[in-house]
Chain A
Amino acid sequence: DIQMTQSPSTLSASVGDIITITCRASQTINNWLAWYQQKPGKVPKLLIYKASTLESGVPSRFSGSGYGTTFTLTIGGLQPDDFATYYCQHYNSYSGTFGQGTKVEMK
């Protein structure tokens, strides 16, 4: 199984900050990488797929990049609604492995 590792595990930030979360795959996954946001007690929400394609309705301050084994999620100008846990996911027709999550908390 391909392993997905996110860093950092926790990120303290303030409203207006630009933050970056990194996700690394244990082997190349091309661009089969998604990002999700989950708030406490809520269902995960798809933000980005194919590493850099923004899901419909997701604000443009969210962006994704990367190819192969290293990927990033950037939030350009953190908003109060963005404090949440973010997960990366490698997906294809036979796998759907998630990273362990990154909690973005208020500084």
Chain B
Amino acid sequence: QVQLVESGGGLVKPGGSLRLSCAASGFPFSAYYMSWIRQAPGQGLEWVSHISTTGITIHYADSLEGRFIISRDNDKNSLHLQINNLRADDTAMYYCARFRWGEDIPFDLWGQGTMVTVSS
């Protein structure tokens, strides 16, 4: 079954850190760019980061101020997002998505998301 399953979300205090994971199955994970997108409660979609097939090329949204680190493990078919120095405005549902850049197709497969809540 072709799917993405996120995990690692939860309630975190401001200033804390969290590592989100996305497990891919049913498709050749190493052949695809991958991305993270987030959505604050009641708000729109915000692109967070892309990572290339090998993990060598990485890009982040300018607004994220260097607190986010995307990575992937192609041997384990997994994508990760490390978020440091968490702030209240990082509270959001975090989605991973497959990005078919080689075919000019953006996010055609999404996970169900993992919720991150930052609160004291």
Contact = CB atoms under 8 A, between A and B. Distances in A.
Contacts of A46: 105-108
Given A34-B106, A46-B107, A93 B50 contact: yes
Contacts of A1: 61-63
A34, A50, A94, A96: most-surrounded residue (chain B CB, <10 A): A96
A43 B111 contact: yes
Chain A interface residue number, banded:
20 to 34
A93 B105 contact: no
B95 A87 contact: no
Given A1-B61, A93-B57, A94-B50, A49 B106 contact: yes
Interface of A: 1, 34, 36, 38, 43-44, 46, 49-50, 55, 87, 89, 91, 93-101
20 contacts: A1-B62, A36-B45, A43-B112, A44-B45, A46-B105, A87-B44, A89-B45, A91-B99, A91-B106, A91-B107, A93-B59, A96-B37, A96-B99, A96-B106, A98-B37, A98-B44, A98-B45, A100-B44, A101-B44, A101-B45
